[in-house]
Every structure is written in C-alpha cells, then in structure tokens.
Amino acid sequence: MPHNHILSSFDDELNDLRARIVKMGNLVEKQYQNALRALEHKDKILAEKVRKADRIIDVMDAEIEKQAIQMIALRSPVADDLRDIVSTIKISAGLERIGDYAKNLAKRVSVIRHEEAISVSSAQIGQMVTEISGMISDVIDAYITRDIDKAIDVWQRDKNVDSIYNSLFRELLTYMMENPQYITPATHLLFIAKNIERAGDHATNIAELVYYINEGELLALKRPKDDSSNYAEIDAN
C-alpha cells in the first residue's frame, strides 16, 4: 500500500506539472492575440498589458523548472518518467521564449502607432499570428494527449510561417525601395514579422520534444524550413 501511495503521489505531481504547461501555453497564445489586436488598433494600453503579462509567463517558467528539479531530486525518476520531466523543463523554456517574442511585438506598437499603416503587410502579419496561435494550441494538446501525429503536423506547419514571412520580407523591401517614407514603418514591421517567425521555430522545437517524450528518440526527419531572407539569423528584439 505505501508503494502504491508513492506511485499515486508521483502521478499527481506529474499531472500538476503538465497542467502548469497547459496554463502557460494558453497564456502565451492569448499574448499573441492581444499583441496583434494592439498592433491593428494601435492600442498602446493593450500593448502595455501584453508587456506586463510577460512577467507572469517568466514566473510560471521559473516555477515549472523548480517543481521539475524537486521531483527529480526527491523522486529519482528513471527512463520514461525522467525523459518526461526533463523535456517538460525544455517545453516550458520554449514557451517562455515564444512569450518573449509576443512581448517584443507589443513593444513595437508604441513606436509605429503614429506611422502610416501598410495594410497588406499588416494582413500578412495577422496571418502569421493566426498560424502561430494554432501551432501553440495544437502542440500543447499534442503534449497532453501524447498525440505524435499532431506533434508532427505542428512541426511541418512551420514552413507555412516561413513562407508568409518570405513573402512579407520581399514586399516590404519593395515598399522601402519605391517609397522612402515607408522605410521606418516597414523596418519595424520586418522586425515584428521576424519575431513571429522565430516563435514558429520554438513551437517546432516543442513539437520535437513531444515526439521525443513519446518515442524516446529524436524526430528523424529533415526540419521544414523555408526562410530564405537575409534576416534569417537575426533575433529581432
């Protein structure tokens, strides 16, 4: 009976850890929706709300890491359980980084809110945010349900984000070359788009971790990547 109690207690701790990831993922997804709305409506107040909420995500990441380390220290998990806990720490860190990119998007709102809007580019940024929100939601669902197929689907969808980014990159360069007055807003939009594109990379990382948790091996496929712009290696903060 004591042994069963210990196993049950450990399962409860694992479930609590997973629930924290779900809560964190939901908040990160909401951050992108709010950041996009702030950008579309030049809403400085909502943008500041996004920036402040990022602190909550940082705290959640720290708490998940602390709980996971305590579980490793006190429970001495092995094999599948150890792989699960360690991967969860990495998933939390990935979500925290994705949240940072939403915060960075919100920081740009106050800079470009008085600039002339580039409507087509804004629409493409909206498409990128929609893609990212769906990837975050689905990869967290895949993590909880242990759905490998859904994780692979998220992993493959990163190329959609890259494709939109490449199209936007070319369009904004054209704007800047043909209309010098667009240089400032177009540059800010490029950095916004790059932040979103990088968020897609981190969602892809999480999908790989979900696969690893379930299969115990790395995803043996070539990572989908369709980012051919000269900004490919810029971490736009």
Residue type (1 letter), 32: Y
Summarised one tens digit per residue, pLDDT across range 20-47 is 999 999 999 999 999 999 988 889 999 9
What is the structure's pLDDT at 228?
A: 53
3-state class (DSSP) for residue 99: helix
Higher pLDDT, 56 or 217: 56
Neighbours of 217 (CB within 10 A): 8
Q: Please check the confidence at residue 88 and state whether its pLDDT lies above 50.
A: yes
What is the structure's pLDDT at 45?
A: 95
Query: Residue 217's pLDDT band (boundaries 50, 70, 90)?
Result: confident
For residues 110, 112, 113, 118, the Cα torsion angle rounded to the nearest 10 degrees is -150
- The average confidence (pLDDT) of the chain is 87
Summarised one tens digit per residue, pLDDT across range 115-130 is 555 666 778 999 999 9
Q: What's the chain's length in residues?
A: 237
Q: Please check the confidence at residue 232 and state whether its pLDDT lies above 60.
A: no
With beta carbons less than 8 A apart as the criterion, state whether 55 and 174 touch.
no
Summarised one tens digit per residue, pLDDT across range 157-214 is 999 999 999 999 998 888 888 888 888 888 888 999 999 999 999 999 999 999 999 9
Ordered structural domains, the chain, with CATH: 2-215 (1.20.58.220)
Neighbours of 146 (CB within 10 A): 12
Instruction: Name every residue whose Cβ is closer than 8 Å to that of residue 54 and which is 6 or more positions away in sequence.
Output: 31, 99, 100, 102, 103
Neighbours of 210 (CB within 10 A): 28
Summarised one tens digit per residue, pLDDT across range 155-171 is 999 999 999 999 999 98
With beta carbons less than 8 A apart as the criterion, state whether 149 and 168 touch.
no
